[in-house]
Amino acid sequence: MVKTDLPAGSTPANGSAVPTKARQYFLPKLDGVHNLAVREFDVPLPKANEVLVKVHAVSLNFRDLTIATGTYRGPKHENLVPCSDMAGEVVVVGDDVEKWTVGDRVCANFSQAHLHGDITPETANTALGGSLEGVLTEYRAFPADSLVRVPQYLTYEEASTLPCAALTAYNALHGPTPIKGGDWVLVQGTGGVSIFGLQIAVASGANVIATSSSDEKLEQAKRLGANHTINYKKIPDWEKEVQIITGGRGVDHIIEVGGPGTLNQSLDAVRMAGWIHVIGFLAGNADVSNVPLKTLFKAAIVRGILIGSRTQFEDMNRLFSARQIHPVVDKVFDFEQAQEAYKHLESQKHIGKIVIKVSRQ
């Protein structure tokens, strides 16, 4: 039985018209944010197992910047519709879809086909705004099983920040040895993943140490629940400070965003048999020749994190709902201001997430 068989251009049950044409951003070239341009496209009908979503808000990640400027190492292509993170509203439901109805508020999972369990080459290859076309578009069809429900207490702007940054932090802290109340967690900096890592760790009963080069940002980290903060400009040997704070034991989990540039220090800051979750390479290159030996002598565990599965996204939403965690939104831009939004991200002055409002309703 068909749940909603409205063609594009007609009006679904809740009265919001689905137009036949709509606008979307695309990147004709990948050598700079200035390429970001708007084009008109034909709004598609969903396949039998898809739903059509009206996008309300999109949030930016550092990955989006590297794609637009050509430094991203993963899959991408010219004329790409950019961005991976959105929250929106179901407006048309495919014939065989049981799970969703018109009006449902949803996010799409970053890797569309990564439904549960570990990532695979096949599921890694379904990343929005990279392998697949992205979400900086007024309408987009998604496979029904790639979506998660937006918790009631969140706005579309807030929810749009979850798919990449929050899920990466959640996956880091809920790996083979999930975070446990009383654990010590170190988050590096105050970017999107780190702030979410802080919030998730606090809500899970952990002790959190946050680092940053800015006292102002560290104040914000404290307001979000960080037990300790370290300004690494003032204390470059932050790994020693971590050992002092933890009484010589070291931390159980590190959200490692610096990569080679901070990995050596992280290996000194982590406890024996503790976890370093590598999620990015913001600190640039550095000598890592010592890393394997240190890993061995510390019995440490270095783990790469590639976002997460839809099941983890649902689990994360349950935690967020239980503690009514609100994502930290730095600034909201209008659809027409996408280039400004990207440039604000580039400036690194933000704390938390940058959002583009796509729909005005």
Tokens representing residue 63 in the block? 């990955």
What minimum distance in Å lies between the beta carbon of 304 and a copy of itself?
A: 4
Nearer to a copy of itself by Cβ, of 228 and 357: the residue is 228
Instruction: Decide if 291 contacts 267 (C-beta within 8 A).
Output: yes
User: How far is C-alpha 94 from the chain's CA centre?
Assistant: 27
Other beta carbons within 10 angstroms of residue 287's beta carbon come to 10
Tell me if 177 contacts a copy of itself by CB under 8 A: yes
Q: How far is the CB of 305 from a copy of itself (least distance, A)?
A: 7
Q: Which is nearer to a copy of itself, 3 or 343 (CB)?
A: 3
If binding is defined by CB under 8 A, does position 141 make contact with a copy of itself?
A: no
Task: Look up residue 192 and give its two tokens.
Answer: 């999107």
Comparison of 37 and 306: residue with beta carbon closer to a copy of itself: 306
**Separation between Cα atoms, residue 55 and residue 35, nearest integer Å:** 22
**How many residues interact with a copy of itself (rule CB under 8 A)?**
72
Select the residue interacting with a copy of itself from 174, 222, 240, 344 (CB under 8 A): 174
Q: Is 138 exposed, middle or buried (0-12, 13-18, 19+ CB in 10 A)?
A: buried
Residue 4: C-alpha distances to residues 93, 95, 145, 194 (Å): 5, 7, 17, 41
Q: Under a CB-based contact definition with an 8 Å cutoff, are residues 294 and 267 in contact?
A: yes
Nearer to a copy of itself, 235 or 299 (CB): 299
Are 242 and 251 in contact, with CB atoms under 8 Å apart? Answer: yes
293: left (phi over 0), alpha (psi -120 to 50) or beta: alpha
Q: How far is the CB of 340 from a copy of itself (least distance, A)?
A: 30
Q: Which residues within the stretch 323-352 sit at the binding site for a copy of itself (CB under 8 A)?
A: 323
Q: Which two tokens stand for residue 334?
A: 């209008």
Single residue of 128, 186, 316, 328 touching a copy of itself by CB under 8 A: 316
Q: How many whole angstroms separate alpha carbon 109 and alpha carbon 102? A: 19
Residue number, 315 or 340, with CB nearest to a copy of itself: 315
Q: Minimum Å distance from CB 15 to a copy of itself?
A: 27
Q: Which position has the token pair 């798919």? A: 163
Instruction: State both tokens at 17.
Output: 């018209």
Q: How far is the CB of 295 from a copy of itself (least distance, A)?
A: 4
**Taking the mean position of all CA atoms in its chain, how far away is CA 194?**
10
Window 63 to 122, contacts with a copy of itself (CB under 8 A): 73-74, 95-96, 115-121
* φ, ψ (nearest 5 deg) of residue 157: -60, -50
Residues 264-303 binding a copy of itself (CB under 8 A) are: 271-273, 278-281, 285, 287-289, 291-293, 295-303
Query: Is the Cβ of residue 220 or residue 317 nearer to a copy of itself in the bound state?
Result: 317
Instruction: Please report, as residue ranges, which positions from 184 to 223 form the binding site for a copy of itself (by CB under 8 A).
Output: 200, 203-207
Question: What is the rounded distance in angstroms from the CA atom of residue 283 to the CA atom of residue 275?
Answer: 19
Other beta carbons less than 10 A from residue 318's beta carbon: 9
The 242-261 site mask, x for binding a copy of itself (CB under 8 A), equals ------xx---------xx-
Which of 15, 181 has the CB closer to a copy of itself? 181
Chosen residue from 320, 333, 335, 342 binding a copy of itself by CB under 8 A: 320
Q: What is the CA radius of gyration of the chain?
A: 21
Interacting span for a copy of itself (CB under 8 A) from 16-24, 46-54, 83-91, 212-220: 46-54
Q: How far is the CB of 263 from a copy of itself (least distance, A)?
A: 6
127 belongs to the binding site for a copy of itself (CB under 8 A): no
